[in-house]
Amino acid sequence: MKKYSLLLFDLDDTLLENSSWFDDGLVQSLTEHPLTKGMDKQLFLKKIKQPPKSLIEKLVSGEINTLEFKRERWKSAFDYFEVKVNMEAIEQLESLFTNTSMKFITVNEYVLHLMNELNMQYEVGIVTNGLYDPRQKIVNMGLGHIFSHNKIVHAEQIGIRKPDSRIYTIALEAFNKKPEETIFIGDSWTHDVLGPMEAGMDAIWVNSRGGEKPTDHIPYSIVSSIREIKDILLSSSSEK
């Protein structure tokens, strides 16, 4: 019998291997909306993806919620271009972006087959800080039959973000599992390796950027792509 029975995955830049859906969706939205048609789309994208540090700190601390963060992020980008914008226009752009970006998320056949195989041997779940509807992403990826609503722990819905230890506890309780029965898999050292390991789980770091380990923690494995976890989790080596 395998030691592990639950696999918890991060979503963005892990199962959803890249975030081109965000970039492509935003540029398309900026191109379509009359307020932003004449702006430098790539520069605007950069400002959206790199909001002021103070704004990120407010989100992480819980001082503002994700809705407020999104609105302030838009406002900050417009401020850079010295364009005054009202809340109605911001909400229009946010809605346009949300609907447009999701269309860029499609089925990755390899990930689909991988998850079907893993789902036959393990329980699987998702724990994500993502600002945009993880359920819609999962459906567009063709994984809706694997990750039902009750298998997705979304920070926005519970008001707790990784790496807060409580979000890992909530995930374990949702599956009625112990930490030692669980492996967490994701691309963020802080959120998907350090946090889960300090909560008693093992972790697989999807180190797609080839970075150095920020701490001395030793994860179960380090891979450069989600594709590499198949040989780790679907072989006798998972008896570790």
**Two tokens, residue 229:** 């976890």
Same domain for 235 and 141, yes or no, is: yes
**116 and 210 inside one domain:** yes
Look at residues 54, 83, 102 and tell me which one is the last residue of a structural domain. Answer: 102
Residue identified by tokens 């998320």 is: 105
Q: What percent of the chain has pLDDT over 70?
A: 97
Our count of domains for the chain comes to: 2
- Same domain, yes or no, for 49 and 126? no
Do 143 and 234 reside in the same domain of the chain? yes
Please indicate, yes or no, whether residues 174 and 58 belong to a single structural domain of this protein.
no
CATH number of the domain bearing residue 110: 3.40.50.1000
Looking at the structure, tell me whether residues 118 and 209 fall in a common domain: yes
Mean pLDDT rounded to a whole number for the chain? 93
Q: What CA–CA distance (Å, rounded) separates 81 from 20?
A: 24
- What's the average model confidence in pLDDT over 63-90? 95
Q: Which of 102, 134, 166 is the last residue of a domain?
A: 102
Joined together, the tokens standing for residue 163 give 């790496």
DSSP secondary structure letter of residue 13: T
- Predicted confidence (pLDDT) per residue in 78-88, tens digit: 999 999 999 99
The answer as to whether 233 is a domain residue is: yes
CA distance 62 to 65: 6
Query: Looking at residues 174-196, what average pLDDT do you find?
Result: 97
Question: What are the start-end ranges of the E strands in 18-163?
Answer: 123-128, 152-154
Q: Is 193 exposed, middle or buried (0-12, 13-18, 19+ CB in 10 A)?
A: buried
In order, the DSSP letters of 39-84 are: S-HHHHHHHHHS--HHHHHHHHHTSS-HHHHHHHHHHHHHHHTT--
Q: Domain check: are 140 and 234 in the same one? A: yes
Is the domain of 135 the same as that of 96?
no
pLDDT digits (tens, 9 = 90+) for 195-221: 999 999 999 999 998 999 999 999 999
Residue 104, judged by CB atoms within 10 A of its CB (0-12, 13-18, 19+), counts as middle
Examine residue 1 and state whether it is found in any structural domain, yes or no. no
* pTM across the whole model: 0.92
At 2, the pLDDT band (50, 70, 90 cuts) reads: low
Place of tokens 């789902």: 119
* Residues 6 or more apart in contact with residue 13 via CB below 8 angstroms: 19, 187, 206, 208
Largest Cα span, the chain: 62
Span 4-45, pLDDT tens digits: 999 999 999 999 987 789 999 999 999 999 999 889 999 999
The CA R_g of the chain, rounded to the nearest whole Å, is 19
Is the pLDDT confidence value at 240 over 60? no
Residue 191 belongs to what domain range?
6-16+105-239
- Pair 57, 81 in one domain: yes
Going by C-alpha positions, the residue among 117, 111, 128, 124 that lies closest to residue 182 is 124
78 and 127 share one domain: no
80 lies in the same domain as 137:
no
For residues 78 and 29, membership in a common domain is answered with: yes
